[in-house]
Amino acid sequence: MSKRPKIRISIIDRRGEKGCHRGHKIGQTFDYDTQRGDICPMAMHCGFPYIDILRYGGSVPGQPKGVAEFCCSDADTIMVFKAEIVND
């Protein structure tokens, strides 16, 4: 069985006038394996299917190989995240 790839999650954009309720800011990055608990649960709920696709060798239509962009579900301020495979 091969080892699952490492995933880095970055905040790349914000849409809306209000700030993130969790305090996230554009430019923050997280290691999925060790820091996912630091990411807003609403964002992780939305991002998990995309992360799973990347981890198990799939790709997201319209996205570069090894990358998946997704948004949180906060209607007041939409934070845009990018999950990507990290090659050591």
| Residues 56-82: tens digit of each pLDDT | 999 999 999 999 999 999 988 999 999
Diameter of the chain measured on Cα atoms: 46
Distances, alpha carbon 10 to alpha carbons 2, 3, 68, 75, in Å: 25, 22, 11, 20
Residue 87: band (very low, low, confident or very high) from pLDDT cuts 50, 70, 90: confident
The answer to whether residue 1 is domain-embedded is: no
Q: How far apart (Å, rounded) are the C-alpha atoms in residues 61 and 34?
A: 27
Asked, for residue 18, whether it belongs to a domain, the answer is: yes
Instruction: Judge whether 31 and 51 are in contact, CB under 8 Å.
Output: no
Residue 49, in any domain of the structure: yes
- In this prediction the pTM is 0.91
Whether 2 has a pLDDT exceeding 80, the answer reads no
Are residues 83 and 56 in contact, defined by beta-carbon separation less than 8 angstroms? no
Other beta carbons less than 10 A from residue 31's beta carbon: 13
What is the total count of domains within the chain?
1
- 53 confidence band (pLDDT: 50, 70, 90): very high
Domain contains 39 = yes
Domain interval for residue 56: 6-86
Question: Is 53 within a domain?
Answer: yes
